[in-house]
Amino acid sequence: MDAILKHLLKKEILRQKTTINLIASENYASPDVLRFLGSPLTNKYSEGYPGKRYYPGNVYCDKIEKLAQERALKVFRLKAESWGVNVQPYSGSPANLAIYFALLNDRAANAGKGEPKTDILGFSLSSGGHLTHGHKVNFSGKIFRAVQYGVDPKSGLIDYKKLEALAKKHRPKIIVSGATAYPRKIDFRKIGVIAGSVGAYHLADISHIAGLTAAGLHPSPFPHCDVAMTTTHKTLRGPRAAIIFSKRRKMIHNSALMLPDAIDRAVFPGTQGGPHENAVAAMAQALEEASKPAFKNYQKQIVKNAAALAGALKKSGFNLVTGGTDNHLLLIDLKNLGMDGLSAERRLEEAGITANRNAIIGDASPFRPSGIRLGTPAVTTRGMKEKEMKKIAGWIYGILMKKGGSGAIKAEIQKMLKRFPLPY
């Protein structure tokens, strides 16, 4: 092993062990998931799909990939007769690229026949959406024609009325639901109805809430969408990869093509080459872990911890976007504290807590936004409960609101972390 890399890896593991991780999109994969990721499966090329590969020697990769597909359906209580599943996307952004490629190509075939000009109606980044939901600096806003909906500036809640008005005005080809920084439940049914009323596909990006959805703690998008995708490394606690689910229905503008076939073609050969079978196996392992009763309890605890953290922060005077949380994350609005998200992020990190700065509605700069996002999936994996969340809220108050250094808090954080070890 290269000595420099070995040293850096050791340091990173130590950093993970000695930090309270409140980054809402991060988690700790199990040692078994990590083992598959680092396995000789990484050596294999398996372009194509099980039973139809473009390389020999895929007898075991076929079995692994099928297992991942079966388990993905099982975890979300879906039937193979109704849903196609693709486990090959390298991560969330490539998955969304492939989905747009599949769905928009369908409509492109009808170009010049009075087709609408808008490709994507997505949730804006400053309201809590993802870059790939049509942001202007991302491929989704650069190569596709995107319009964005957002939250009501007063309540911080998704403005469904405006969403509907935008859908009627622009008649987009795809409406994207789902978020990376939205602390409340998303009404997938409402968005599905709006999409149906304007003849758009409904894509649900459940990357953040996949674990909660699997555990029945967030309303399921599946009855109301055509395509759903999720990354597998957030609340699902798997490898960095993604899954695309697509309804077994005909394409809107091409009755000869089924949606799952279009998605498969768009993933490979449309936008990707050989799948990373080491990641597919790691995903299958994570999905097996997610099918156990303990996983449901874990997800319940994530939600309870987020509520406890939010309650304690509010009590100490912090202003929370939407006033609280229904899920695994919350956003502190720092505007009234004379501090921006970047300074808060730095102060917290210096004391041993990681949480990322986040844009909130009305912010002009995503580099110096006025929010900070806190999530509980990682600390819950370490075994922390409501009592620890109250302690953490107190430390956050001490670090951000009190004058003077946070030396004493730093020591207390390290003392507590020793009671919640990581399995590596």
Confirm whether 45 is a catalytic residue.
yes
Of 132, 231, 271, 380, the catalytic one is 231
| Residue numbers 248-267 binding ligand DSN by CB under 6 A | none
Q: Whose Cβ is closer to ligand DSN: residue 156's or residue 377's?
A: 377
Q: Whose Cβ is closer to ligand DSN: residue 46's or residue 230's?
A: 230
Of 65, 106, 119, 205, the catalytic one is 205
Q: Is 276 in the site for ligand DSN (CB under 6 A)?
A: no
Q: Whose Cβ is closer to ligand DSN: residue 46's or residue 356's?
A: 356
| Those residues with Cβ within 8 angstroms of residue 409's Cβ, 6 or more apart along the chain or in another chain | 351, 395, 398, 399
How far is it, in rounded angstroms, from Cα 351 to Cα 356?
A: 14
In the complex, least distance from residue 41 CB atom to ligand DSN, rounded to whole angstroms:
25
Of 26, 32, 45, 152, the catalytic one is 45
Identify the H or E element spanning 140.
Answer: helix 139-142
The strand pairing partners of 281, in sequence order, are none
The strand pairing partners of 174, in sequence order, are 120, 201
Confirm whether 47 is a catalytic residue.
yes
Q: What φ, ψ does residue 361 adopt, rounded to 5°?
A: -50, 130
How far is it, in rounded angstroms, from Cα 209 to Cα 216?
A: 10
Of 234, 247, 357, 373, the catalytic one is 234
Q: Which of 19, 25, 278, 301 binds ligand DSN (CB under 6 A)?
A: 25
Q: Whose Cβ is closer to ligand DSN: residue 107's or residue 233's?
A: 233
Of 74, 145, 240, 265, the catalytic one is 240
Of 26, 32, 47, 62, the catalytic one is 47
Single-letter amino acid code for the residue at 174:
I
Confirm whether 205 is a catalytic residue.
yes
Q: What φ, ψ does residue 42 adopt, rounded to 5°?
A: -65, -15
Confirm whether 145 is a catalytic residue.
no
How far is it, in rounded angstroms, from Cα 93 to Cα 242?
A: 9
| Those residues with Cβ within 8 angstroms of residue 325's Cβ, 6 or more apart along the chain or in another chain | 183, 184, 306, 307, 310
DSSP 8-state class, residue 308: H
Q: Whose Cβ is closer to ligand DSN: residue 231's or residue 370's?
A: 231
Length of the chain equals 424
- Show the binding pattern over residues 128-157: x = contacts ligand DSN (CB under 6 A), - = does not: --x---------------------------
Total residues interacting with ligand DSN, rule: CB under 6 A: 4
In the complex, least distance from residue 132 CB atom to ligand DSN, rounded to whole angstroms:
8
Residue in 320, 332, 401, 408 with CA at minimum distance from that of residue 371: 332
- CA distances in angstroms from 363 to 127, 128, 186, 359, listed in the order given: 9, 12, 22, 6
Q: Is 278 in the site for ligand DSN (CB under 6 A)?
A: no
In the complex, least distance from residue 331 CB atom to ligand DSN, rounded to whole angstroms:
12
| Those residues with Cβ within 8 angstroms of residue 229's Cβ, 6 or more apart along the chain or in another chain | 89, 92, 95, 96, 99, 203, 204, 205, 206, 207, 242, 243, 244, 245
How far is it, in rounded angstroms, from Cα 55 to Cα 274?
A: 10
In the complex, least distance from residue 116 CB atom to ligand DSN, rounded to whole angstroms:
28
Q: Is 180 in the site for ligand DSN (CB under 6 A)?
A: yes
Q: Whose Cβ is closer to ligand DSN: residue 130's or residue 170's?
A: 130
Q: Whose Cβ is closer to ligand DSN: residue 25's or residue 305's?
A: 25
Q: Which of 84, 92, 192, 275 binds ligand DSN (CB under 6 A)?
A: 92
Residue 239, preceding peptide bond in cis (omega within 30° of 0): no
Cα angle: 281, vertex 286, 291; to 5 degrees: 125
Confirm whether 231 is a catalytic residue.
yes
Residues at the interface with ligand DSN (CB under 6 A) = 25, 92, 130, 180
Active site residues: 45, 47, 205, 231, 234, 240
